[in-house]
Chain A
Amino acid sequence: MDTFLQQVINGLTLGSFYALVALGYTMVYGIIRLINFAHGDLFMVGAFAGLSLLSSLGGLAGKMSPFVIIPLVFIVPMATVGLMGAVIERLAYRPLRRAPRLSPLITAIGVSLALEIAVELLTKAQYQLFPSVLPSTVWSIGNVVISAAQVLIVPVTLALMAALYLFVQRTMLGKAMRAIAIDQDTAQMMGINVDSLISLTFFVGGALAAAAGVMFGTYYGSINFDMGFLLGLKAFTAAVLGGIGNIPGAMLGGYLLGLLETFAAGYISGEWKDVFAFLILIGVLTLRPTGILGEHVVEKI
C-alpha cells in the first residue's frame, strides 16, 4: 500500500509538469491548428530565465523573505517567456497563417532547434544547477515520503490551470479566443482582433511553460539545454490523449500520462514504460479518435 501511495504521489508530481506544458500546446493548437514544437523549449528557457534571475540576485535572494522571492522567481520568467512566445508567433508563425499546415510545423522545428542551440552555446552544453528556493523539508508517513516541494507543486499547478480555465470561460477575452478557435474568419468579421488574441494565446502558453520550467528546475535541481525536447514530446502526447484543443483535456491528459508512466515504470518495467504509454494512447485514440475529452466534430456535408 505504501508503494502504491508513493507511486501516486510520484505520478501526480510528474503529471503536473506534463499538464502545464500540455496546456500551452493545446491552446495554440486550438486557436491556429499548429503543433508548436518549440513549446517544450519555452519550458526550458523558462527554467533558465529563473536561474538567471536567481544568479543575478545573488546574495540578495537569501535575504529576501520566501514570500517575495518565490512569486518573483515565477512571475519574472513567466512574463519574459510569455513575451518571447508572442514575439516568436509574430515573427515566425504569423506570416504562415494561410500557408499549408506543414510549413509552420517545419518553422516550429526550426525555432525549437534555434532555441536549444542558443542555450547550448551560452551554457557550453553544461548542466546547470538550479538552487532550491523551496524549503527542503520532507515528511514521512510510514514508508511514504513526500517533500514540501511536491506538496506545493500540485496545488500551484491546479491553481494556474483553474485560473486559465476561468479566464477562457468567463472573460470576454477568453470568449473571443474560443470564437477564433471555432472559426477564425467569422470571428474576424465579428470585429475580434484576431492577431492580438493569437499573440495573447502564445503569451499565456509561454507563461505557463515557464512556470513549469521554474518548478522543474527547483524540484530536480539541474537543468540543461536539452531538457525541453523530451518533456515537450510527452506533453504533446498528453494533450492529444486528453483531446487536443481542449483545456480540461490537457489537464486530464497531463496527469493521466504522469500516472500512467509512473505506474508502468513502477509495476511493469522501466525500460518499456514509454511503449506502454504509447500503446495506451493508441488504444484510447482507436476508441475515441478525438481524445478522451475531445469534441466529436460531426462532419456535415
Chain B
Amino acid sequence: MLSLPSRLPRPAWLTTPLSRFVVAAIVLAALVVVPFGLNNYYITLLTNISVYAMLGLGLNIVVGYAGLLDLGYAAFFAIGAYVAAYLMTTYNWSFWLMLPLGAALAAVFGIIIGAPTLRLRSDYLAIVTLGFGEITRISATNFSFTGGPNGIPSIPEPTLGNFTFQTPLQYYFLALALALVTLFCVARLGNSRIGRAWAYIREDELAAQAMGINTTRIKLLAYALGAVWAGLAGCFLAVQLTAIDPTSFTFNTSVQILIIVVLGGLGSIPGVILGAVVVIVTPELLRFLPPDQQPLRLLLFALALILLMIFRPEGLWPSRQRRREMHSYDVSLVGTAEAAAEAELVQEGAEP
C-alpha cells in the first residue's frame, strides 16, 4: 500500500502553545506587512486566496467536520454575492449591513438545502446538493431581479466614514480581516461541543443517535454554519468585482472548493488554507506559457491532483486524527517501531 511513513516526527515549532503563538504572530505580521511591497497582481492573488480560504473553511465544516458530501456549495457563495449586489445597488444600503444579512440568508438557505438530504445516504446527498447548486445558478440566470445572465453591475465601493475602499491593497485587507474572522470561528466550532457532535455523526451516525444526539439538528447546523462563511465571501466578491453574474457560481466553482478541502486535508484548518493556496496559485504559475499551450497549465494542475491524491490521500496537511485513521488500517505496522512510537505519543497526550 502506497503511503508515506506516518511517523514524521512533529516539528518542534508546533508542539508547545508558546511556539505556536509566536509562529502565528509572525505569519500574521508577514501577511500584513509584505503586501505593501508587492505589485497589484500579487495583492489580487492574495485576496483571491483569502476568499477561497474562507470558502474552503466553510465547506470544511460540512464535508470535513460533519462528513456530508456537498457538491453545490457555490450556491451559498452566490446568495451572499447577490444579496449584497442587489441591496447595495437598489437601496444603497451599506456594505457592512450586507455582511450579517448575507451570512444569515446563506444560513437559511443552508437549512432549506439540507432539509431534504437528512434521510439520504452519503452519495445520494451529493447529487441533491449538486442539484440545488444548479437550481440556484439557473434561477439567478433566469430571474430578472437578479439581472438575468448579465447579473448586477455597478456595485458601489464599501465606505467606512469618510474612507472608501478603492485600491487592491485596501480590498486585500478587507478580505484578510474577513478570512481571519472565519478562521477563528471555524477553529472554535471545531473544538466545541457541536464540533464533537459533528465528528460523532461523521464516524457513526447510528451510534450517535443511540447516544442521544439529535442528528437532524446537528446536520442542519452543519449546513447552516458552513454556509455562513460562503455568504460572507460572496458579499466581499460583489464589492471586489463591482459586477457579479451567474458564471462565477457554477458547478466547477463548487468542485474547486471541494478540491481545496480534500487536497488540503479534510477537517484540518491549516490544510484547507494550504489547499486554497495550491488551487489558486498553481494555475497562475504557468501564465507565462505561450497562448496555444495555455491548457497545459490546467493539465499540470490535474496531474498534480491525481498524483497528490494517490501518494498522499489524507491531504497535504491532514489533521493528526485523520493521518492516524488513514494508516491505522496498515496492518503491516503492527509490532513495528513506528507503532510503538505512535503509542507513546498518544500516551503523552499529544493533541489529536
Contact of B119 with A114 in the complex, beta carbons under 8 Å: no
Residue picked from A106, A109, A121, most chain B C-beta under 10 Å: A106
| CB-defined contacts of A63 to chain B, threshold 8 Å | none
Other-chain contact of A98, B126, B295, B329 (Cβ < 8 Å): B329
B306-329, CB under 8 A of A: which get 1 and which 0? 100110011000000010011001
Contact with B along A147-191 (1 / 0, CB 8 A): 000000000000000000000000000000000000000000000
Residues 247-281 of B, flagged 1 when their CB comes within 8 A of A and 0 if not, give 00001000100110011001000000000000000
Closest to B299 in A: A117
Q: Knowing A35-B126, A95-B310, A98-B329 touch, does A113 contact B298 (C-beta < 8 A)?
A: yes
The 8 A CB mask of A90-118 against B (1 = contact, 0 = none) is 00100110111111111101110110011
Within 220-241 of A, Cβ neighbours of B (below 8 Å) are at: 233, 236-237, 240
Q: Which chain A positions have C-beta within 8 A of B123? A: 29, 33, 35, 240, 244
Given the known inter-chain contacts A110-B302, A233-B251, please indicate yes or no for A105 contacting B262, CB distance below 8 A. Answer: yes
Verify A289–B121 contact, CB threshold 8 A: yes
Contact A289/B1 with A107-B305, A124-B292 known, Cβ cut-off 8 Å: no
Whether A114 pairs with B302 at a CB distance below 8 angstroms is yes
Nearest residue in B to A118 (C-beta to C-beta)?
B299
User: Is A281 an interface position by the 8 A CB rule?
Assistant: yes
User: Which chain A residues numbered 285 to 301 have a C-beta less than 8 Å away from chain B?
Assistant: 285-286, 289-291, 297, 299, 301
| A299 / chain B contacts, CB cutoff of 8 Å | 206
With beta carbons under 8 angstroms apart, the residue of B69, B127, B132, B259 that contacts A109 is B259
B63 at the interface (CB under 8 A from A): yes
Chain B residues whose CB sits within 8 angstroms of the CB of A282 once the complex forms:
116, 128, 131-132
Contact of A121 among B255, B299, B314 (CB under 8 A): B299
Across the interface, which residues of A come within 8 angstroms of B142, CB to CB?
A: 271-272
Complex Cα distance, B325 from A218, in Å, reads 49
A103 to B293, CA, bound (A): 29
From 115 to 170 in chain B, residues with beta carbon under 8 angstroms from any chain A beta carbon are 116, 119-124, 126-128, 130-132, 134-135, 138-139, 141-142
Per DSSP, chain A at the interface is helix
Give the residues in chain A near B259, CB-CB below 8 Å: 106, 109
- Whether B339 sits at the interface, judged by CB under 8 Å, is no
Q: Which residues of B contact A285 (CB under 8 A)?
A: 116, 120, 124, 127-128
B296 at the interface (CB under 8 A from A): yes
A275 interface hit (Cβ, 8 Å)? yes
Give min CB distance, B290 to chain A, whole Å. Answer: 13
Inter-chain contact A275/B135, CB cutoff 8 Å: yes
> When the two chains form the complex, which single residue of B1, B116, B121, B255 contacts A286, counting CB atoms closer than 8 Å?
B116
Contact of B139 among A92, A117, A275 (CB under 8 A): A275
Residue of A whose beta carbon sits closest to that of B205: A299
Q: What residues on A are CB-neighbors of B211 within 8 Å?
A: none
Chain B residues with CB under 8 A of A275: 134-135, 138-139
CB of B33 closer than 8 Å to a CB of A? no
For B206, list chain A residues within 8 Å (CB): 299, 301
Q: Which residues in B have their C-beta under 8 angstroms from that of A105? A: 262
Question: Contacts A92-B310, A301-B206 hold; do A289 and B303 have CB atoms under 8 A apart?
Answer: no
**Cα of A104 to Cα of B124 in the assembled complex, Å:** 17
Question: Are A279 and B135 in contact (CB-based, < 8 A)?
Answer: yes
Given the known inter-chain contacts A102-B266, A117-B299, A271-B138, please indicate yes or no for A111 contacting B306, CB distance below 8 A. Answer: yes
Query: Can you identify 11 A-B contacts, CB atoms within 8 angstroms?
Result: A92-B306, A103-B309, A110-B304, A111-B302, A120-B295, A121-B295, A279-B131, A279-B135, A285-B120, A285-B127, A289-B119
Beyond contacts A96-B313, A110-B305, A282-B128: 4 other A-B pairs, Cβ-Cβ < 8 A, are A100-B325, A114-B306, A271-B142, A272-B142
The 7 closest A-B pairs by CB, nearest first: A110-B305, A278-B131, A113-B302, A103-B313, A110-B306, A99-B313, A114-B302
